């Protein structure tokens, strides 16, 4: 998650009490800036710190479920992201931004979207791609056109599809139950298997590191909502629209008999939907800032995710859906900018 910068203009002005013709006091300035004029005390570092804290439960449950191998993947991603940003900025003689924790957040988000058994050089390569190609070469913090971690994950999925879709079985579960023998819940239901919604929500299951526990993801989401780092608008609408479009697509295809509570719970709690909705879809830089734009954005993500999952050959699709949505954000903001009060829209000729 990153922050957008607001332009600020500074205009020199004369003291209103100065007599005409007197020399202007150059120490008197009028600061003119764009709204909002009420400023909050949060900084990039404090926001990123909250995101790091919110990701800790998902990371911890991933390590619990998949063992120490998951810890090495997380450390590899985080350390490589931080090192890449530091080295690049040193070489380019740019101000160092490692202390704002944005590189740490990128590393953690990339790590929770990785399978625990992946060779460590692949997360390292993805981390370099995320920071160097997607973030720094676009201008650094706040200038990237897509989420760096998800762009890196898509890059790895295209380059190393087999390794990125080989999910190990969980080595520990919270309690005894059907763990689907290592298959991810989405892959199982796409193949026609049935799952238990209770196990899906409350037990650990196979998948990426951050997908091991639904409860851990929700704990982090509640923390972000409580700290007002995010709002429920984009995540909530994204999840609801995904469920709605999944049902609609099955109705159109004539396969409505496959719809059930277990199936829909797996669509929400399996795969990366919850992680994507709460930790990636509402990235400050790559999501719309206009209210209507956010609605369009969230619905588009839901439509794309449903299409990828139901119609596509893969059982997942959150990463690609969010990346495609990111690319349409400038257009969404352009067509949904509110009309200033008192301004009349120009009528098109002809």
CA distance 148 to 153: 9
Model confidence, pTM: 0.83
pLDDT at 6: 44
Residue 218 has pLDDT above 90, yes or no: yes
Q: What average pLDDT does the structure give for the chain?
A: 85
pLDDT at 202: 86
CA distance 14 to 81: 49
CA distance 349 to 24: 49
Residue 229 has pLDDT above 50, yes or no: yes
By the 8 A CB rule, do 70 and 63 touch? yes
Q: Which domains does the chain have, with CATH numbers?
A: 44-335 (1.10.3430)
SS3 (DSSP) at 313: coil
- Other CB atoms within 10 Å distance of the CB of residue 117: 15
What interhelical angle do 44-66 and 102-112 show, nearest 10?
A: 30
277-305 average pLDDT score: 93
Q: Is 104 exposed, middle or buried (0-12, 13-18, 19+ CB in 10 A)?
A: buried
pLDDT at 54: 97
pLDDT tens string 65-94: 999 999 999 999 999 999 999 999 999 999
pLDDT tens string 80-139: 999 999 999 999 999 999 999 999 999 999 999 999 999 999 999 999 999 999 999 988
């Amino acid at each position: 998650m990153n922050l957008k910068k607001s332009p600020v203009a500074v205009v020199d002005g004369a003291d209103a009490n100065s007599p005409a013709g007197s020399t202007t006091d150059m120490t008197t300035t009028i600061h003119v800036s764009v709204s909002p004029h009420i400023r909050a005390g949060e900084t990039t570092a404090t926001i990123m710190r909250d995101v790091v804290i919110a990701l800790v439960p998902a990371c911890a449950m991933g390590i619990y479920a998949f063992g120490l191998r998951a810890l090495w993947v997380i450390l590899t991603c985080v350390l490589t992201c931080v090192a890449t940003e530091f080295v690049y900025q040193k070489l380019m003689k740019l101000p160092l931004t490692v202390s704002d924790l944005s590189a740490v957040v990128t590393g953690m988000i990339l790590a929770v979207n990785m399978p625990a058994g992946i060779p460590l050089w692949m997360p390292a390569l993805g981390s370099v791609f995320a920071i160097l190609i997607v973030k720094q070469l676009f201008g650094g913090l706040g200038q990237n056109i897509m989420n760096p971690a998800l762009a890196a994950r898509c890059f790895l999925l295209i380059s190393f599809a087999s390794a990125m879709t080989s999910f190990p079985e969980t080595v520990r579960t919270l309690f005894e139950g059907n763990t689907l023998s290592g298959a991810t819940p989405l892959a199982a239901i796409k193949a026609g298997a049935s799952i238990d919604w209770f196990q899906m929500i409350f037990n650990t299951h196979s998948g990426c590191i951050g997908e091991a526990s639904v409860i851990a993801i929700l704990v982090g989401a509640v923390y972000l909502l409580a700290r007002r780092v995010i709002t429920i608008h984009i995540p909530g609408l994204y999840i609801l629209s995904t469920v709605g479009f999944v049902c609609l697509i099955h109705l159109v295809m004539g396969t409505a008999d496959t719809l059930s509570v277990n199936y829909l719970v797996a669509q929400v709690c399996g795969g990366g939907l919850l992680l994507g909705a709460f930790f990636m879809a509402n990235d400050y830089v790559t999501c719309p800032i206009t209210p209507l734009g956010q609605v369009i954005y969230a619905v588009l993500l839901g439509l794309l995710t449903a299409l990828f999952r139901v119609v596509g050959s893969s059982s997942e699709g959150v990463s690609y859906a969010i990346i495609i949505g990111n690319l349409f954000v400038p257009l969404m903001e352009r067509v949904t900018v509110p009309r200033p009060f008192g301004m009349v829209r120009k009528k098109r000729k002809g």
